[in-house]
Amino acid sequence: MELLEKISKLIEMYTEKNKKVAFAESCTGGYICHMITNISGSSEVFERGIVCYSNDSKEELLKVPHETLIKHGAVSEQVADKLCRGIRKISNVNVGIGITGIAGPTGGTAEKPVGLVYIGISTESIVNVYKYIIKKERIKFKKEVLKKVLVLLDDYIKI
């Protein structure tokens, strides 16, 4: 199934169940929100998206503690956790997704290589953070992150 078809189907399912989503995107720079809002009817489920590329924006908009950023770095499980929780709380939605990573081709280290991404999901009942290594150029990296997010959204709505 093509990506836009998958998104359209998810929007239908979320609309039927009256569920809302919001996104806090760092390394994807708004790509996830862009793809969701390409589908007519997305306004029924899409509450908001925040591009929190800088550490300052993570702190100011989503209340990621400065200490967390210093101790663990912007690309970390802990920050993805804070992003998904923060966006869900400020948006008052059923599902909050937080994404942070290193799209490359520069910026990686031995501990945090290019392609590393953490995706957090916060719902009424769970908070989970998933770690992936996606070794692709930037645009393909973002597309692969979108695919991972769609799986998480699909798994949640089918519960």
Whether residue 157 lies inside any domain: the answer is: no
More confident residue, 21 or 108: 21
With 0-12 / 13-18 / 19 or more C-beta atoms within 10 angstroms meaning exposed / middle / buried, residue 106 is exposed
- pLDDT exceeds cutoff 70 at 101: yes
- For 125-146, write each residue's pLDDT tens digit: 999 999 999 999 999 999 999 9
Q: Identify the CA nearest to 121 among candidates 29, 13, 19, 1.
A: 19
> What is d(CA 47, CA 135) in angstroms, rounded to the nearest whole number?
31
Q: What is the number of structural domains in the chain?
A: 1
List the domain range (segments joined by +) for residue 140.
Answer: 3-151
pTM of this structure:
0.96
Residues 78 and 68: their CA atoms lie apart, in Å, by 7
Domain of residue 48, CATH code:
3.90.950.20
Render pLDDT for 108-118 as a digit per residue (tens, 0 to 9): 998 999 999 99
Would 18 be classed as within a structural domain?
Answer: yes
Evaluate whether residue 158 is within a structural domain.
Answer: no
Residue 156 within any structural domain of the chain? no
CA-derived radius of gyration, the chain: 15
Q: Is residue 136 part of a domain?
A: yes
